[in-house]
Structure 1
Amino acid sequence: MVVKLQRPILVGGLGLSFSLWILQSWHHSIVQLSEFGLLSALAVGGGLWLFQQNRPKGSLEQLDGIVADRITVENAIAKAEAVINQLTQEAENHPALEPLREKVAQLILELDRQEIKVAVTGGKSVGKSTLIQLLSGGWQERQQKVSFYKTAPLFREAGDKSHVAAFAELNQADFILFLTNGDLTDSEFQTLQQLKAANQPTILVFNKQDQYLADERASVLLSLKQRMQNNVVATAASPVPIKVRKHEVDGSVQEWTEQPAPDIQQLAQQLNEVLAQQAQQLVWTTALRKARLLKAEAKNWLNEIRCDRATPVIEQYQWIAAAAAFANPVPALDIVATAAINAQMVMDLGNIYQQKFSLEQAQTVAGTMGSLMLKLGLVELSTQAVSTVLKSNAVTFVAGGVVQGVSAAYLTRVAGLSLVEYFEQQEIAIDSGNALNLDKLRQTLQKVFQQNQQMAFLQGFVKQGVKRLLPEAQAVG
């Protein structure tokens, strides 16, 4: 019976102790390695052993974000088509419709694609071209169709657009080989996290490992595996030539350089396993990613159309609120009664964004928006900001109700824009006023309020408000 040890820390300690015993036994016969270097190598080796014991078995069979079935992709394509169809209903002659429909047709064909696309990416001079040459030669004799291509270098100087171009190329890949020449920089780590978030299966390749001493190489590899958890492979696509010295019997010495063979066997083996076992799933994963990007593109066009329709509606109601507050000035804290968007505006904006409200539901939404504004302190802040701008003009400032009127208009605008941004994020129609996500709505309100707090905007807005409320003051001012 085979006994499986369940305590890797204990076993790791025994393994390291055994290594130290070996070190003592060999101490007098090993003279070419420093004591520190060998101890470091043994310690790192023990760490690697521990890592391997804790590493999930079959990690290459559990790639992050990989799609296991075709139905998931077909559903994503259907959702993208639904948004495109909605865009067709609301803007039947929109110039983006034809390109969007073509992309849908391509996606459907993509589901049965046989060729696997492998992108090789990384910073400048990490060995992308050399690795592609070696890998391509190994796949030419195989039945499975695999194409390798390199992206534009990442992490160039500020202002360089190669990073954006590289990500566009990576979106087309079924699998990614991300090359690094050492431990990860912050930029490399962030990029790998972005790839993971985008559901792009990736192997991190520690290339040019031959340029490190043995203990340094093991330390870098351990660090990479700890940060990335899985799928890290060390290679030497183009090893540095080594100097060979031969001592002859007559005492002469001959020297020459030899070119070591490339070391990519482990990478080729792992890549072969992935492509042999999960080729179809990789294709589906790429199709799913493209379907989601297509849906987002169509949604952006749809939101742009709707925003163009919503803007004049918000402007109409903000000046209605201004006139009402100016005609009937109320205490500052009660201004929320006129500043919060009214129920009819909620309904009008809801109709534009296919978020249907009854009158009762719209009133609930309006009241909720007003309460949030009051709790967040937006009413007081807006009144103070408007008062500050108005103080620069004594004629308009002393006029009764101007502060309340302009503040009401300003808050109505903020509330309207907040609802627009909130609606743009919705997937389905809201069935009732209680379906509002108050946390998200609160965050949206704060964000929109801050965006509209710039002094230049406030000055222009107040000027517009005064012009509407006190047209005769313009001539005096």
Structure 2
Amino acid sequence: MLQRPILIGGVGLAFALWFLQGWRESLAHLGEFSLMGAIAIILCLWLFGKYRPKQQVQELPVNRETVEKAIAQVQVVVDRLETENHPTPELREKIAQLEAQIDRQEINLAITGGKSVGKTTLLQVLETQPQQRKLCLSETAALFSEVETKTDIEALQRAIASDLILFVTAADLTDSEYQTLQQLLAAHQRLVLVFNKQDQYLPDDRAVILYSLQQKMQPMLAAEDVVAIASAPNPLKVRQHQTDGAVEEWLEQRLPEVSALTQRLEYILQQEAQQLVWATTKRQAEELKVEGKVILDGIRRDRALPVVEQYQWIAAAAAFANPVPALDLLATAAINAQLVMELGAVYQQKFSLEQAQNVAGTMGSLMLKLGLVELSTKAISTVLKTNAVTFVAGGAVQGVSAAYLTRLAGYSLIEYFQQQEEAIDSASGLNLDKLGQTLQNVFQQNQQVAFLQGFVKQGLGRLLPAPQPQLNQS
């Protein structure tokens, strides 16, 4: 990965210089050089940029305080669930388990990797090695099936749940292995990359593969965390010449060559054992927080959706009764401000009336700026044109559009509030970039033709009086 771009880039530049030598011969050659030289330089820069190692984000070390803070955040979510009249004894039990794990002494080590790389043999070898600290060794199912299955996902999840991972490979990294290693490191997982079965290669080839692995993983993984072993070396043929001239041959089983790995594990366990436990506990707390928040968001969403539906039809009735040529999203400012206040109350976001009006006005400005008002009105007008009677009805477009845009505002606030960790104290606390992106996402989700047709039909059913059956006159 590191040598190829240099080679290609060098060839490209040499090719460009070759054109440069003949540039005086003709202007046509000059033009050709300019084009090819520029292409070669751009190609070289692109390759260097593509294969330049990514900078590793240096994180603050996990300590007891950060773990306790993560558990406290889970406690906040559970407390909020109980205020919503939703008891969660299972979550509280898991919180107690997390608190008990902070001082755990046992280290959970998972061995993972693809098929036939020697995971089981390595597990058996490590179980026979003396350890100063208690290790709980486990092996995951083989990764990288031809078709990704549930087993692959479970194996990866099991590895991530451990304190330390031994990722085993029997050759240079494949693309799938490299992507998985990146995924594990992105999850802040401590791991050691183990090059197993090195005895199957010539000494020079072993060194090349080990160096390649170390280079590919920089700076994500320290060179010391990439080790070469042979957990089950091939038997060695021994030949013995007897005094009578006879030759006796046999295969002699060799001992495992795992000293590089055991020494690295010993160092990690001496220096990082407590950090490993804290890091795992913190990850589990964050996962538990997500689990609780999903439940909390579901409860609040069930309460918020009827509020949005109620106010969208109130806004529709107000616009239909008093249609205006130029539709303003917040033609009924009091209605939309009240919607903001009620949704805020559902999501524990307290707004005064003035703040709610500011939020409603901000959302209206964003919708105009993003062009959502014009696009929505055109889409609804197109649907209404399929029925001449409803299209000519005064205020039908304005009424349905007001309902649709109020729905967008309400759904966007729901999505936005679900992403917040802390209460918003004022309208100025809104993240306009995030709110604008949320508006666009909600708009795209509600632009399907089938949905618009159903929404328009529902709106007309509420705005226009139902036709009265004609009575037969005798």
1:127 is matched with which residue: 109, 118, 122? 118
RMSD after superposition:
2.9
Q: Are 1:369 and 2:360 an aligned pair?
A: no
Aligned partners of 1:329, 1:360: CA distance in 2, in Å? 26
Task: Decide whether the 8 Å contact of 1:80 with 1:291 is kept in 2.
Answer: yes
| Aligned 1:288-327 pairs, distance under 5 A | 288-327=282-321
1:270 alignment partner in structure 2 = 264
The partner residue of 1:71 within 65, 87, 100 is 65
1:251 to partner: Cα distance? 9.9
Q: Do the aligned residues in 1 keep the contact of 2:334 with 2:357 (CA within 8 Å)?
A: no
**How far off is 1:458 after superposition?**
1.9
- Summarize the alignment of residues 130-145 of structure 1 with structure 2, pairs less than 5 Å apart: 130-139=121-130, 142-145=131-134
Structural mapping, 1:430-441, within 5 Å: 430-441=424-435
SS of 1:239's equivalent in the other structure is coil
Residue identity opposite 1:470 in structure 2: L
Determine if contact 2:81/2:296 at 8 Å carries over to the other structure. yes
- Residues 17-416 of structure 1 mapped to structure 2, 5 A cutoff: 67-92=61-86, 94=87, 97-139=88-130, 142-158=131-147, 160-229=149-218, 230=222, 231-241=225-235, 256-332=250-326, 334-335=328-329, 337=331, 342-416=336-410
Larger mean CA deviation between 145-154 and 193-202 belongs to: 193-202
Mean Cα deviation higher: 257-266 or 125-134: 257-266
2:330 and 2:336 in contact (8 A); partners too: no
1:36 aligns to what?
Answer: none
Task: Tell me if structure 1 keeps the 8 A contact 2:240–2:247.
Answer: yes
Q: Do the aligned partners of 1:395 and 1:473 also contact (CA within 8 Å) in 2?
A: no
C-alpha distance in 1, partners of 2:117/2:468?
Answer: 66
Give secondary structure in 2 for the equivalent of 1:194: helix
Q: Which has the higher contact order (CA 8 A, sep 6+)?
A: 1
Q: Please report how far the alpha carbon of residue 110 of structure 1 lies from its aligned counterpart in structure 2 after TM superposition.
A: 0.5
The residue type paired with residue 134 of structure 1 is: V
| Partner in structure 1 of residue 455 of structure 2 | 461
User: 1:452: which partner in 2?
Assistant: 446
Superimposed CA distance per residue, residues 368-398 of structure 1 (whole angstroms, 9 cap, x where no aligned partner): 1111111111112212222222233232222
Larger CA deviation: 233-242 vs 409-418: 233-242
Structure 1 residue 208: Cα displacement = 2.3
Distance in 2 of aligned mates of 1:249 and 1:375: 99
Q: Which range moved further: 355-364 or 184-193?
A: 184-193
In the aligned structure 2, how far is the partner of 1:170 from the partner of 1:475? 69
| Amino acid aligned to 1:226 | Q
* Percent identity of equivalent pairs: 64
SS in 2 for 1:268: helix
Identify the range of structure 1 (279-288 vs 391-400) with the bigger mean alpha-carbon deviation.
Answer: 391-400
Question: Is the 2:301–2:414 contact (alpha carbons within 8 Å) kept by the matching residues of 1?
Answer: yes
- Aligned mates of 1:63, 1:237 — CA distance in 2: 33
Moved more, 364-373 or 379-388: 379-388
Paired position in structure 1 for 2:53: none
Which AA in structure 2 matches 1:328? Answer: N
- TM-score of the two chains, using structure 1 as the length reference: 0.79
Q: 1:157 to 1:325 in 2, by over 3 A?
A: farther
Kindly tell me: are residues 221 and 407 of structure 1, through their superposed partners in 2, closer, same or farther at Cα, counting changes over 3 Å? farther
State how far apart, in whole Å, the 2-side matches of 1:292 and 1:137 are: 35
User: d(CA) in 1 for partners of 2:315 and 2:232?
Assistant: 72
String of CA shifts for 1:372-427, please: whole Å, max 9, x gaps. Answer: 11111111221222222223323222222222222221111111111111111111
Give the whole-Å Cα distance in 1 for the aligned partners of 2:178 and 2:373: 43
Q: Is the 8 A contact 2:231 2:256 kept in 1?
A: yes
Q: Contact 1:64 / 1:196 at 8 angstroms: preserved in 2?
A: no
8 Å Cα contact 2:347-2:417 kept in structure 1: yes
Structure 1 residues 470 and 120, CA gap change in structure 2 (3 angstroms): same
The SS at the match of 1:342 is helix
Q: 1:474 to 1:234 in 2, by over 3 A?
A: farther
- Distance 1:86-1:187 versus aligned 2 partners, 3 A rule: same
Alpha-carbon distance between aligned partners in 2 of 1:128 and 1:158, rounded to the nearest angstrom: 21
- In 2: Cα distance, 1:434 partner to 1:475 partner: 54
Q: Classify the secondary structure of the residue corresponding to 2:105.
A: coil
The alpha carbon displacement at 1:314 in A equals 0.6
Aligned mates of 2:281, 2:290 — CA distance in 1? 14
What SS does structure 1 have at the residue aligned with 2:144? coil
Runs of 5+ consecutive residues of structure 1 not aligned to the other structure:
1-61
Contact persistence 2:229–2:257 (CA under 8 A): yes
Matches of 1:194 and 1:412 in 2, distance apart? Answer: 40
8 Å CA contact 1:65, 1:196 repeated in 2: no
Report the CA distance shift for 1:324/1:131 in structure 2 as closer, same or farther (over 3 A).
same
Displacement of 1:254: 6.8
Query: Is contact 1:67-1:282 (8 Å) kept?
Result: no
TM-score (norm 2): 0.79
Per-residue deviation, 1:247: 8.9
Deviations 1:324-376 (A, max 9, x none): 22222223553454599711111111111111111111111111111111111
Q: How many residues align?
A: 411
Amino acid in structure 2 at the alignment position of 1:106: Q
Read off the aligned partner of 1:104 and give its amino acid letter: I
CA distance in 1, matches of 2:440, 2:334: 15
1:118, 1:146 within 8 Å by CA — same for their partners in 2? yes
Structure 1's 202 and 401: CA in aligned 2 closer, same or farther, altered over 3 A?
A: same
Cα pair distance change 1:161/1:399, threshold 3 Å: same
Which structure 2 residue ranges, 5 or more long, are not aligned? 1-55
Change (3 A) 1:335 1:429: closer
Q: Which amino acid counterpart does residue 122 of structure 2 have in structure 1?
A: L
